[in-house]
Chains A and B, each alone.
Chain A
Amino acid sequence: MDIKEEKYQLRLYVAGKTAKSVTALANLKRYCEEHLKGEYVIEIIDLLEKPQLAEGDQIFAIPTLVRKVPEPIRKIIGDLSNEEKVLVGLDIRPVNKL
């Protein structure tokens, strides 16, 4: 992890390609492109393939977005349809837009 670049490490947990998962991923990509361009990494974990990973990040709802970096860890569950809530949840202020 490169601290200088202040990257946002984001993980999106999904379970197969459900409508909610697809919506969530699309929403997430849109917000990131808009607010964190070049500063983020999105990792998608499909729990149907790797169920053992669910315990590590305390996942119980699907889809869940986990902000691993910067600390502290934040979680956002749902299809991320509410932009404002997602940005607050990820602690990204829209005004910081480059």
Chain B
Amino acid sequence: MAKEIKKGKQDIARLPKTLTGIPGLDDITGGGLPTGRPTLICGEAGCGKTLLAIQFIVKGALNYDEPGVFVAFEEKADELAMNVASLGFDLDQLQKDKLLKLDYVHIDRTEIEETGEYDLEGLFIRIGYAIDSIGAKRVVLDTIENLFGGLSNQSILRAELRRLFQWLKTKGVTAVITGERGDGNSLTRQGLEEYVSDCVILLDHRVINQISTRRLRIIKYRGSIHGTNEYPFMIDEDGISVLPVTALKLNKEASAERISSGIPALDKMLGDKGFYKGNSILVSGTAGTGKTSVAASFANHACSEKKRCLYFAFEESPKQIVRNMRSISLNLQQWVDKGLLQFHASRPTLYGLEQHLVSMHKMIKEFKPDVVIFDPITNLISVGSVSDVKSMLTRLIDFLLDEQITVMFTALSLNTVINEQTDEGVSSLVDTWVMVRYIEYNGERNRGVYIMKSRGMQHSNQVREFVISDRGIDLVDVYLGPNGVLIGSAREAQMLQELTDRVLHKNTVNMKDRELDRKRKMLESKIASLRTEFETTEEELNRINIEEELVKKVTDENRVELVKRRKGEQ
């Protein structure tokens, strides 16, 4: 986002910004807080103001080489150090390294008498000295409103505060001022927003249906574009992380790489190659149709190709899934042991939707998976309304696609009638929708699978029978007979019938072949006898001819002899 803004127009002395180092917040603010200006962070007690402020200082010191001063009006320096030690922030070490200066300003009304005119020059000097001693670029005042509790002369205080914020600007430090949320509409009890008007961030902690969600909103940010929504944030062992929820820009990369579903026959239905990498896949179906098995097959296959897979389970514990999948000969444990597969099981009611989103976000960022599976998303409905779940899923899908992670959701459809819309309405968001359903026919239920849609690829329009056996999942072509589609035992019966027919047919063919053979042999023998007969006749004829010739010759000789005798040789 920061880059985007920079690219936007020519650089006409753009507002310089200071990165906070808080994941997500820098995205929303388009690059951080305004450099050299004070920012007000307000919110109710316990909403994370101090934490955000300290994270701003610590991250600045550690990541951006910007030392910081933390002026605490509430907690003592050592208390503060102890409180944030659980987040892995070693304030003592930072102080030794001259990257941080903690200054606790103690104000106790019982110790103080006020007489006549005074000003807060002492505070200025203290802060100024702290800034100069370490060359600080960042300053936090937490919570300056405590001054109002300690001092009674409000008019002096107000004038001095105004001067303080001006003075901080002239010092060129990026300041964060925290303030407790006031009653009614005012953002802070003492109306600090009047003085700090460059950037105001409101933190909120709401409980809806017994589930608490923290949210952050930028109320104003002078001279800068910023996200205006309420963004959920989370406080965990790493401090605050904000989720920039809707970066709905739809300019995702589109990969032509394919990724197998782990079920060869299903791949065949999807143009012979499987899903596109970075696509989202929805597997929906009624209870018990084998959605988890499809998801597990996919995970198993991805892991066997050395891809990393993150599995969010909302129904079963990881051990349960591993055990159950063994029954269809999927050994998921081996991938878990190799660190390729990571399960994350939690009850949806553990925390609010937004919190789920943030924690998923974080885990995905950490584990860097190629494939993510959510099983099933429908359970999330127990912690939010349909529209909430939908908006959350939109953001989730968006984020995953941005990261080029292939994601598979399973969804439980509640009614047995096929509806064109899943309950969460994510069908329009996903790229591939595989539907598994029971087909009731002939007194039995069988699983049928078909592809409702699959963007950008040839896909089969056929209903396949989906068979789960101890060898895994397979898809069988349904039998299209004269009586319509046959599945299950009807299909088996039909197949047996066909087999019988084939054997019979083969038999018949054999018999015919033999008959032909015999006929040929008969004919051949007939031909042979005829030929012999012919030869005999021919020979006879020849003999007669020769005899005739001989007779003629002998007769001729005899005649010549006779003539000779008659002429007188007698």
CB of A79 within 8 A of CB of B115, answer: yes
Which single residue of chain A is at the shortest CB-CB distance from B130? A55
A61 CB-CB contact with B under 8 Å: yes
B107's contact among A51, A60, A85, A89, by CB below 8 Å, is which?
A: A60
Q: Is the interface of B mostly helix, strand, loop or mixed?
A: mixed
The 3 closest A-B pairs by CB, nearest first: A89-B113, A81-B116, A51-B129
Asked if A36 lies at the interface with its beta carbon under 8 angstroms from chain B, I say no
Cβ–Cβ contact A77 & B112, under 8 A = yes
A52 to B103 Cα, complex, angstroms:
11
In-complex Cβ contact of B120 among A23, A62, A74, A76 (8 A): A62
Q: Which residue of B lies closest to A62 (CB)?
A: B121
The answer to whether A79 and B126 touch (CB under 8 A), given A55-B103, A58-B105, A58-B106, is: no
User: How many residues of B are in contact with the other chain, CB < 8 A?
Assistant: 23
Does A44 have its Cβ within 8 Å of any Cβ on chain B? Answer: no
Q: What are 10 A-to-B residue pairs whose CB atoms are below 8 Å?
A: A13-B122, A15-B125, A20-B116, A20-B119, A47-B121, A60-B122, A62-B120, A62-B125, A79-B117, A88-B113
Chain A window 26-62, contacts with chain B (Cβ cutoff 8 Å), 1 for yes, 0 for no: 0000000000000000000001100110110011111
Q: State whether A62 touches B118 (Cβ < 8 A).
A: yes
Give the chain A neighbours of B113 by CB distance below 8 A. Answer: 74-78, 85-86, 88-89
Instruction: Determine if B114 is an interface residue (Cβ-Cβ < 8 Å).
Output: yes
Given A52-B129, A81-B117 in contact, is the A75-B112 Cβ separation under 8 Å?
Answer: yes
Q: Which residue of A lies closest to B153 (CB)?
A: A78
Contacts of B125 in A (CB 8 A): 15, 47-48, 51, 54, 62
- Cross-chain contact A80 with B129 (CB below 8 angstroms): no
CB-CB under 8 A from B122, the residues of chain A are 13, 15, 47, 54, 59-62, 64
Judged by a CB distance under 8 angstroms, whether A96 is at the interface is no
CA distance A73 to B117 in the complex (A): 21
| CB–CB A81/B129 < 8 A | no
User: Who on chain B is nearest to A88 by CB?
Assistant: B113
Does any Cβ of A come within 8 Å of B123's Cβ? yes
Binding site for B on A (CB under 8 A): 13, 15, 18, 20, 23-24, 47-48, 51-52, 54-55, 58-64, 72-82, 85-86, 88-89
Picked from A51, A61, A86, A89, the residue with its CB within 8 Å of the CB of B119 is A61
Question: Complex formed: what's the CA distance from A13 to B115 in Å?
Answer: 15
Complex CA–CA separation, A48 to B126 (angstroms): 10
Quote the shortest CB–CB distance from B126 to chain A (angstroms): 4
Complex CA distance for A62 and B114, rounded to whole angstroms: 11
Report the nearest B residue to A24, measured CB to CB.
B116
Does A20 contact B126, Cβ atoms closer than 8 Å? no
A51-B126, A51-B129, A52-B129 as given contacts; A79 in contact with B119, CB under 8 Å:
no
- CB-CB nearest in chain B for A73: B111
Contacting residue for A82 out of B103, B116, B121, B126, CB 8 A? B116
Query: A62 — which chain B residues lie within 8 A by C-beta?
Result: 118-122, 125
User: What 0/1 pattern do residues 144 to 162 of B give for CB contact below 8 A with A?
Assistant: 0001000100000000000
Interface residue? B128 (CB, 8 A): yes
Residues of the A chain whose Cβ atoms lie less than 8 Å from the Cβ of B115: 76-82, 85-86, 89
Smallest beta-carbon distance B492→chain A, Å = 88
Q: A20-B118, A64-B122, A76-B112 are in contact. List 16 more A-B contacts (CB 8 A).
A: A47-B121, A51-B129, A54-B129, A55-B126, A61-B121, A61-B123, A62-B119, A62-B120, A62-B121, A75-B113, A76-B114, A77-B112, A78-B116, A81-B117, A85-B114, A88-B113
